[in-house]
Structure 1
Amino acid sequence: MTVDIAIILIPFIMAAFIPIFYRQLSKRLIGWFVLVIPVSLFLLLTTYIPRVSSGQTLSNTYEWIPSFNINFTTYIDGLSLIFSLLITGVGSLVILYSIFYLSKKESLHHFYCYLLLFMGAMLGVVFSDHLMVLYAFWELTSVSSFLLIAFWHHRKASRAGARKSMTITVSGGVAMLVGFLMLYVMSGTFSIREIIANIDRISDHTLFVPALILVLLGAFTKSAQFPFHIWLPDAMEAPTPVSAYLHSATMVKAGIYLVARFTPVFGGEIVWFWAVTGVGLITLFWGSFNAVKQVDLKALLAFSTVSQLGLIMSLLGLGSVAIHLGYSSETVIYTQAAFAAIFHLVNHSTFKGALFMMVGIVDHEIGTRDIRRLGGLIRILPLTFTVALIGSFSMAGLPPFNGFLSKEMFFTATLKITELDIFSLDSMGVLIPVVAWVASIFTFVYCLIIVGQTFFGKISPDILEKNPHEAPIGMLISPFILIGFVVGIFFFPNLLGHYILQPAMASIYPTFPSTEEMTPHISAWHGLNTELYMTIGVVLIGVTLYFLLKRWKPIYRIFPQKLSFNVLYERVIGFGENFSERATKRYMTGSLTHYFIYIYMAFVIIAAGVFFMTDSFEWNTKNNAAVESFELILVFVMIFAAIAILFSNSRITTVLLNGVLGFSVAFFFVVFRAPDLALTQLVVESVTTALFLLCFKYLPDLKPEKSTKRVKFTNGVISLLVGATVSVIGLAVMNYDKFESISTYFEDAYNLAGGKNIVNTILGDFRAFDTMLEVVVLFIAGLGVYALIKLKAKKGDADIEN
C-alpha cells in the first residue's frame, strides 16, 4: 500500500477501531487519541510541499475492480495538496477544540467516529483521479455529514437540518454521477487526467454541455450556491466543532474543489463562464444581504459562509475565461482571478474557522447566541473578543489581515473582466463589479454586527446572573492559531503564494506553459487605484448603514416569507410525501389479486411492448420437429386441468388438478430426454401435493368467491394476455439469431468447472453462489432480529428496575 492511499484509509481504519476500543479509553483521552491522526497526516502532507511546489505530481494506482476498469488511483498535485492540508490542518484544530467544548456526557466515540469518516471521505474526494471512486467518496461525505449534523438527534431541528442537507447534496451528487457517465461515454475513460488530455476530442460532443450542467449541479448543491444554499443555515444545528469543520473549511469546499478540478475540462465553454460566475455573484450578494437580518450568531455566520463561497465560485468562473481565450501574454492576466479564488479559499478557512469557534465559546460560556440578548462581552471575554475582531475584520476585507489581500484581488478580477468585449459585456459586464461591490458593503455591515452588537454596549442583566467567564485556555488555542495565520499570511503572503498557491494554478491551467506568469506578487499596497477606492467606499457606506441599521432593516419585511426558498422546499417535500402516500395506498391494497394484476400487466406491457416496438417476432417452423400424438394428448390434458381449476369449488380437487399440471410437465421432460429434470419435477411435485393436502385438511371450508362478471372478465383478459405473451416469446426465441447466444460461454464446461454436463455445472457453480448469498442475507436478518430481541430485553430489565 502506497503512502497516499494510506493517508485516505487511515481515518477509516481508526474510525472502525474507535467503537471497539473506546471503552478502554476514558472520555478524557479519546479526543487526544483521535487528535494524533489528523496531526500526523498533516505533518506527513507537509513533506509533499517541496516536491509539489517544484512541479512534481505524485500518482499511484491500486487495482480495485479491474474487470470494470475501476481502480483506486490517487493523484497529488498542487490543487489536491491545498485541500488535503486544509482538511487535516483545520481538522486537527477542530478536534483539539472539541476536546474542551463537548461535554463528557456526550456520545464522544460516535462523534469522533463520524468525524474521522468525514475526514477520510474528503481526502478521498481530493485525491481521487477516477470519476467513480471520486463519486463514491463524494456521497460518503454527505452520509458522514448527515451523521455529524444530526449528532444531537434528540433535537428536532438537528434531525430536520441533517435530512435537508442530505436530500439536497445527494440529489446534486446523483446529477453529478450522470454527468460523469456522460464524460465516460464521450472520452472512453474515467480518469480525470486522461479526460483533460483529450479535451479537444470531446468538446464538440452533443453531451458536453449537458455533462457540464450536471457536474455543476453537484458542485452547486454541495457548496450551498443559490438557490441550493438553504441547507447550510439549517445545518448549523450541529455542534460548533462540526460547523467550524464542515461548513467553513471542508464539506462546502468540496464543490469549490470540483469546479476548480474540472475548469480545464469545461472552462473553454462559454456556458461554464456564465453559469459559475453568475451563480457565484448571485450567491455572494444573496448570502451577504440575508446575513444582516439574522439574530443568531451561527445563522449569521452560515449566511456569511454562503456569501464567501459565492465569492470564491465567481472568481473561478472569471478565471475560466483565460481557457476560453487561449494562452497569450494578454489573456494570462485573467488567470489571476483563479489565483485569487484559491487564495481566498485558504483565507476563508482561517478566519471563518476562528469565527465559528468564537461563537461556540460565546454559546458555551454565556448560554445564548441571540444577538438581541448579547452585548458588552468585551469585559467578560477579552480574548474571545480578539478572535472575533481579527476574524470579522479579515472577512470584511480590512488590513492588516489576509482577507484584505484576496478581497482586493477579487475587485481587480471583476474590473478586468469588464475590459472584454467578446461576451457582449458592454452592458452586462458592468454589473459584475457593481454586484461585487454592493455585496461587499453588506459583508462589512454584518462583520460590524458580529463585533459591535456582541462585544460592545451594555451587558444584559440575565447574563450577569449566570457568572460568565472567559473560556478555558484549551478552547482558545485553536482559534488563536487560526487568527495567527490570518495575520501571518498578510505579512508573508508570497510564501503561501509560491509554495502552495502557484502549484495549484498548474492544476487549473495545465496547458499553460508557465505558472510564474499566472502567480502575481502579492502586496498590500498598489497605490491609489480603483480597487482601493472601492474598499474605502465599502467602509464608509458600511459604517453608515450599520449605525442606521434600525431605520432600513424593516426592508426585509418586504420579502414575503411564503415565497422563500425554504417554504418552497418544504412544499415540494410535503407534496412528494403526500403524493407517495396516496399512490402507495392505491396499489398496496392488501389484496393478492391486485398484486398479481400489477405484476402480470407490467410483464405484458414491457415484454409485448418491446416485441412490438422492435418488430422482433419471427416464427419459422421449417426446422421444427413433428408433433407426436402423445404430445398433443399431454397438451390437451394440461389445458383441461388448467381450465378445470378455475371452476373447482373443492380444495382437494384444486390440489389434484394442480398436481396433474405438474406431473404432465414431468412427462414432457421425459419426452424431451431430460430424465434428471423429470426426476426433480416428480419429486418436487409429489412433496408439494402431499403438503398441500396435509395443510388444507386443517383449514376451514372453501367459501365460494363472490366476484362480479366484470372482475371475472378482467381476470380472464389478463390471463389470456399473459398466456399469449409467453407463447409468443417461446415461439420467437426458437429461431431468434439477432444476438449471439450465451450458450457459447458454457460450451467449455469441463475445463471451466470440471463437469461434463452443462446443466449440472450451472447448478453447481452459479446456483450454489446464489444460495450462498441468500444464506448471507438470512444471516444478516437473523443478526438484526437477535439485536432487536436483546434491545427489548434490556429495555424490559430497565423498566423492571425502575
Structure 2
Amino acid sequence: MIIKLAVLLPFLMAALIPLVHKHIKREHIGWFVLAVPIVLFIIISSFIPKIADGNTYIHTLEWIPSLGINFTTYLDGLSMIFGLLITGVGSLVILYSNFYLSAKELLHHFYCYLLLFMGAMLGVVFSDNVLVLYTFWELTSVSSFLLIAFWHHRKASRAGARKAMVITVSGGVAMLVGFLMLYAITGTFSIRELVAQVDTIQQHDLFIPALICILLGAFTKSAQFPFHIWLPDAMEAPTPVSAYLHSATMVKAGIYLVARMTPIFGGAETWFWTITVVGVITLFWGSFNAVRQNDLKALLAYSTISQLGLIMSLLGVGSIALAFEFDEAATPIFTLAGFTALFHLINHSTFKGALFMMVGIVDHEVGTRDLRRLGGLLPFMPLTFSIALIGSFAMAGLPPFNGFLSKEMFFTAMLSLQEANVFSIGSMATWIPVVAWLASVFTFVYCMIIIFKTFFGTYHPERLDKEAHEPPFGMLISPFILVALVVLIFFFPNVLVHYILTPAMASVYPTLPLQEITPYVSWWHGFNLELFMTLGVIVLGIILYKTKRYWSYVYTFIQPRNSFNALYEWVITTTEDGSQRLTNKYMNGYLVHYFTYIYIIFVGIIGGYFVLSGAFRFDPSNDATVETFELMVVCIVAIAAVALLFSKSRLTSVFLNGVIGYGVAFFFIVFRAPDLALTQLVVESVTTALFLVSFKYLPDIKPEIASAAQKWRNGIIAVSVGSLVTFIGLTIINYEKFEPISRYFEDSYELAGGKNIVNAILGDFRAFDTMLEVVVLFIAGLGVYTLIKLRNRKEASDVEDK
C-alpha cells in the first residue's frame, strides 16, 4: 500500500502547488517541493534489506475489475533500482534547480511539471498491469513535453518538445498494440501472470508481432537508432530537466521495459538480434556523432544516445541465457551481460547526471556552452573542473571510477558472444565486439573534448557573456554527491551488487539461481584481453583527439539533407501540407457540402456493405398493423419536410420545422417513449423560441442558386439516406443471428437498481460516456470563462493606456 501512496504523492503535491504557490515566496517553492523526492527515496530505501532477502511486495486497488484493469503495484529488485534513481536523482535535480533557475521564472509551473513527470515514472516502474503502465508511460511523454517546452518563447524549445512527443507517443501507441496482443494470447494484463504463461506466449502466432510492437515503444522512448533524433533537440530544455529526464529517468523507461519483458521474450532469436543489433548501432552512431558537436549539451545528448545503446545491447546479449536450460559453465557468461546492463544503468545515471549539471554550471556562469568560445576555465572554475574530470573519465571507462568496472564487463560480455552456440551467430560474434570497441574509442575522444576544450587552452574573456567564476556553493552540492558516488562505487561495488543488483537479476532471470549468475565485481582481473582493449581505446583515442582536424572531414559526407532529422521534417511538412490542402478542399464554408460528404460516405460504406454481404432481410408478415392516424402523421411530417425546401419566408421555415419536430414527438408518445417525447417537445419549443428571438440578428434569406443537376444530386442523396436508414431498421427487426442487446438492458433493475431503462443506461451502463460528456462541457465552460476574463483584462488595459 505504501508504494501506491509513493506513486500518488507527486501527483498530489503537483495539484497542491497551484493552490499554495501564492503564499510561498517564489524562490522558496523549490525547497517546498524538495521534500517529496526525499521522502520517497527514504521510503523506497527502507525496502532495500527486505528486497535483498528475496521478498517482493504487491498491492492491488481495483479500478475496472470486469476488464481486468486494476492499479496493482509490484515492488521487486528491478523496480526498486528505477525507483531509487527516479527519487534519488530527482532530489538532487530539485536541489540543483533551486540555485540554477531564476526567481523570475514561472517556478510553480516548472515544479508542477517535474512532479507530474516523477509520479508518471514511478507509475511506469511500479505498475504490474500493462494498461496502467501504458497510461503512466504516455503521461511521461506529456509531462516531458511540458518540461522541454518550459521556455516556450523559444521556437527551438517548442520544436524540440513536439518532436519528442510525436516520436515517443507514436512508439507508445505501438507498445499498446503489443500489450493488447499479449492479452489476446493470455487473457491477462498482469506482468507476473504473463511471465507465468511464457510458453503459451512464445508458441502463439502473435508472438513476433507483439514483440516488435513492444520494442518500438522501448526504442522510441530510449532514443535508439533511428528514433534517436528527438533527444538532441530536447536539449533545449533547462539543464535540470536534461539532467533528470535525459540521463537518469525518461530515457531509461525503454531500458526498464526491455528488462521487464526479458523473462517473456528472452531466449527468442528475434528478441536477441533486434535488441543487440539496434543497441550496437546506436552505441556507435551516438559516440561517432558526439565528437562533431560544438555545443556541450548536444555532445552530452549524443553521448547519452550512445550509452543507452550500450545498455540496450547488453540486455540483448544477456537474453541468450534464456535460450537454453541452466548450464553451470555457460549460463553465467551470458547473464553477465544482463548484470552489466543493470550495473552500467546506475553508473551512467551518476556520471551523466553530474556532467549535465557541470554543463549547466558553465552555461550559467559564463553564458555559453559553445566549445568554440570556451577554453582556459580551469584557473577560474577548479571545482567545476573536478566534476567534469571525474564524470568524463568515468564515462570514458577509466579507473578509479565506476565506469571502468562496467566498461570492462561490457567488453567481456561482447567477447562472450564467441562462446554462444545459439542463434547461428557465426561472424556476428566478431564484428559486434569490434563495433563496440570502436564506439568506445569515440567515447574516449568526446570525453577528452569535454575536458580539454572547456577547461584547458587559452582563456578568451571577450568571447564570453560573463566573467568566469565558480557558481554558488549550493549549485555544486548535487554534482559533487554524484561524483562521490562514482568513486565510492568503484571501491565498494559489491555492496551495490548484494543489495541492489542481485535482486534485480532475480527479476530479469526469474528461472535461474541467483548465486550462480551474479558475479563478484573486482577492479583488477589481471592482464586479459579486456584490459588490452581498454588500453587500445586510450591509445587510439588520444591519437584521434590529437589529429581530429585531419580526419574530421569525414563528417562532411553526412549532409543534413540526407539525415534522419531531414526525413522527420519532410514527413511532418508533407503531412501538414497534405492535410491542409485536403482540408481546404472540403472545408469551404458551405454547410450543404459538408452534409453531402457525410451522407455519400455513409451510403457508400454502410449501404455498400449491406448490399455486398446480403445483410438486408425483410419480413413484414410479423409486423404490426399501421393505423390510419399513424399514416396521417407520417404524411403531415413528410409534407412539412418537402414544403420546407421551397419556403421563402423565415417565419414559414420555423413553423414547418416545428411541425416536423412535434410530429416526431407524437410518434414517441404513440410508441410509449414518454422520456424521449418530453425531451423532443422541450427541444422543439426552445429551438422555435430561439429562432423567433434571433430573427433580427439573422441575415435576409437569399434564394440558393443551384443547377438542376445539383438539385437532382441532393434529392438522390436525401432519398438514399432515408431509404438506407429505413431498410436498416427493418433488417434489424427481422435479424435473429445475434441476441438483441435490449434483452440485457431489460434487467436494468436487477443490474443497476433502476426501474427506468433509459436512466439506467445513461447513469450506469454508459456512466463513463456520460461522465466524459460532462467533462467536455466543463472544459468548454472553462474555456469560455477564460476568454471572457482575458477580454475584460484587455479592455481594462486599453482604458488605462488611454
Q: Deviations over 1:3-47 (max 9, x none)?
A: 111111111111111121122222332222211221121122111
Shift of 1:672: 5.5
User: Larger deviation: 489-498 or 60-69?
Assistant: 60-69
Q: Find the counterpart in structure 1 of residue 439 from structure 2.
A: 439
CA RMSD of aligned residues (A): 2.6
Q: CA deviation digits over 1:682-711, x for unaligned, max 9?
A: 787677667767766996764432211221
Spell out the pairing of 1:730-745 with structure 2 (5 A cutoff). Answer: 730-745=729-744
Q: Percent identity?
A: 67
Structure 2 equivalent of residue 229 of structure 1: 228
Any idea what SS the aligned residue of 1:343 has? helix
Partner SS for 2:71:
strand
Q: Given the superposition, is the C-alpha separation of residues 380 and 66 from structure 1 closer, same or farther in structure 2, using an over 3 Å criterion?
A: same
What SS does the aligned partner of 1:373 have? coil
Specify the alignment match of 2:23 in structure 1. Answer: 24
Q: Does 1:282 align with 2:281?
A: yes
Matched letter for residue 469 of structure 2: H
- Aligned residue number for residue 526 of structure 1: 525
| 1:106-505 matches, cutoff 5 A | 106-329=105-328, 330-462=330-462, 466-505=466-505
Shift in Å at residue 790 of structure 1?
2.1
Residue 49 of structure 1 is matched in structure 2 by 48
Within 1, Cα distance between the matches of 2:665 and 2:42? 72
Equivalence map 1:601-750=2 (5 Å): 601-628=600-627, 631-632=630-631, 634-636=633-635, 638-651=637-650, 654=653, 657-658=656-657, 661-662=660-661, 665=664, 702-748=701-747
Letter in 2 for 1:440: S
Q: One-letter code of the match for 1:301?
A: L
CA 685–238 in structure 1, closer or farther in 2 if over 3 Å, else same: closer
Q: SS of the residue aligned with 1:190?
A: coil
8 A contact 2:339–2:501 mirrored in 1: yes
Which residue identity is paired with 1:263? Answer: T
Alignment pair present for 1:552 and 2:551: yes
- The worse-fitting range, judged by mean Cα deviation, of 465-474 and 475-484 is 465-474
Does the aligned pair in 1 maintain the 2:222–2:255 contact within 8 Å?
yes
Residue type at the aligned position of 1:171: S
- Confirm whether residue 538 of structure 1 aligns to residue 537 of structure 2: yes
Paired residues of 2:367 and 2:464 also in contact (CA < 8 A): no
How big is the shift at 1:747?
Answer: 3.2
Instruction: Determine the C-alpha separation between the residues in 1 that align with 2:638 and 2:798.
Output: 63
Partners of 2:144 and 2:187 in 1: CA distance: 33
One-letter identity of the residue aligned with 2:439: A
Equivalenced residue count is 800
Contact 2:290 2:446 in 1 (8 A): yes
- Which residue type is aligned with residue 399 of structure 1? P
CA shift digits 1:395-452 (9 cap, x unpaired): 0011111101100111111111122243232222211001001100000000010101
In structure 2, what is the equivalent of residue 511 of structure 1?
Answer: 511
Q: Report the TM-score when normalising by structure 1.
A: 0.94
Q: Contact 1:366–1:463 at 8 Å: present in 2 too?
A: no
Change (3 A) 1:778 1:194: closer
Following TM superposition, by how much is the alpha carbon of 1:606 offset from its aligned partner in structure 2, in angstroms? 3.5
For structure 2, the 5+ residue unaligned runs are none
| Pairing of 1:45-124 with structure 2 (within 5 A) | 45-124=44-123
TM-score by length of 2: 0.94
Letter in structure 2 aligned against 1:19:
P
C-alpha distance in structure 1 between counterparts of 2:794 and 2:560, whole Å = 44
Counterpart of 1:575, as a letter, is T
Separation in structure 1 between the aligned mates of residue 675 and residue 396 of structure 2, nearest angstrom: 83
Q: Does 2:561 correspond to 1:562? A: yes
The more displaced of 762-771 and 244-253 is 762-771
Q: Conserved in 2, the CA contact under 8 Å of 1:14 and 1:116?
A: yes
CA distance in 2 between partners of 1:769 and 1:489 (Å): 51
Which one-letter code corresponds to 1:334 in the other structure?
Answer: F
C-alpha distance after superposition, 1:148-174 (max 9, x if no partner): 111111211111111111111111111
Determine the structure 1 residue equivalent to 2:578: 579
Q: Does the 8 Å contact 2:11/2:119 carry over to 1?
A: yes
Q: Which amino acid aligns with 1:321?
A: I
Moved more, 195-204 or 767-776: 767-776
Q: Are the equivalent residues in 2 in contact too, given 1:114–1:144 (CA < 8 A)?
A: yes
Could you say if the C-alpha distance between residues 533 and 190 of structure 1 is closer, same or farther in structure 2, counting changes exceeding 3 Å? Answer: same
SS, match of residue 42 in structure 2 = helix
CA offset at residue 776 of structure 1? 5.7
Opposite residue 322 of structure 1, the aligned amino acid is A
- Cα distance in 1 for partners of 2:619, 2:389 equals 87
> In structure 2, what residue type is equivalent to 1:107?
L
> 1: CA distance between counterparts of 2:457 and 2:72?
56
> Contact 2:272–2:320 at 8 Å: present in 1 too?
yes
**1:705 is paired with a residue of what secondary structure?**
coil
Q: 1:414 to 1:765 in 2, by over 3 A?
A: closer
Letter in 1 for 2:286: G
Q: Post-superposition shift, 1:751?
A: 5.9
**1: CA distance, partners of 2:129 / 2:227:** 26
What secondary structure does 1:430 align onto?
A: helix
Contact 2:56 2:76 in 1 (8 A): yes
Q: 1:346 to 1:666 in 2, by over 3 A?
A: closer
Q: C-alpha distance in 2, partners of 1:122/1:163? A: 20
Contact 2:415/2:429, CA 8 A, preserved across alignment: no
